[in-house]
Amino acid sequence: MESWQPPLAGKLAVVMGGSRGIGAAIVRRLARDGASVVFSYISSSARADELVREVLSVGGDARAVRTDSGDVGAIRELIETIAAQRGRLDILVNNAGIGLMGLVDDYRVEDFDRMIAVNVRAPFFAAQFAARHMQPGGRIVMIGSAVPERTAFPGASVYAATKGALAAMVRGLALDLALRGITVNNVQPGPTATDAHPAEGPGAEAIKALMPIGRMGTADEIAGMVAYLVSAEAALVTGTSLTIDGGFVA
């Protein structure tokens, strides 16, 4: 009998925005499933280094690279360098994103442009660069949001617009890459407990009141959805936006 192999053994994954919250949970899960994971971060090298040590301590493989996800040139350099070192790329997860909230009355052009750069332009070009190094079986996953389907609070019009654009982009990318055997999907979390938005933090009770299941999601639950989409079992799933929100938009 052959020995058991983790489902992502031998795979190389890049996670854009992986040092904390949902991104860190994705890094842990992909590494646990056997992938070698390179993740980007922008603000905290200490947090990124801590995550790398954590993954290595349990036998996983992870590496952190500081990258500005609003800079297309930096994204290209990251992906091209990794692909050159390993000869290929199997998985790309675009988790990097920002939420600069504000009412329409006084929303700044600079904030609008930064939101588009990080939440829309960067995922597109990351997918473009990564796909060049993928073989059939390659996987691209975007991390969107349930907010375009239920915004629920004022001040999120631009954020909702960027995440709605991401969902539309995924459908087009899936068609572009289908004949090459590369799948492209979008995971849309609802309210999710992270270190930045703890389940018992300010405003948490108001959020839970909007959740039919009575609680916020967890980052590990989102990572589980990503793990399925990058697996061999999900070969027929492409061009979809999968909402994981405890009934938030139901």
Number of neighbours of residue 235 by Cβ within 10 angstroms: 12
Q: Which amino acid is at 1?
A: M
Active site residue: 41, 107, 159, 228, which one?
Answer: 159
Helices (H) and strands (E) in the chain, counts: 8, 9
Bridge pairing between strands 192-193 and 183-189: unpaired
Residue 113 to residue 66: CA distance in whole angstroms: 22
Q: Give the helix/strand (H/E) hosting 65.
A: strand 61-66
- Tokens representing 33 are 């499933």
- Is 159 labeled as catalytic in the residue annotation? yes
Hunting for tokens 């994981």 — which residue is that?
244
In this structure, the dihedral spanned by the alpha carbons of residues 39, 33, 198 and 153, taken in order and rounded to 10 degrees, is 80
Strands (E) located in 28-116: 36-41, 61-66, 91-94
- Which residues are annotated as catalytic? 159
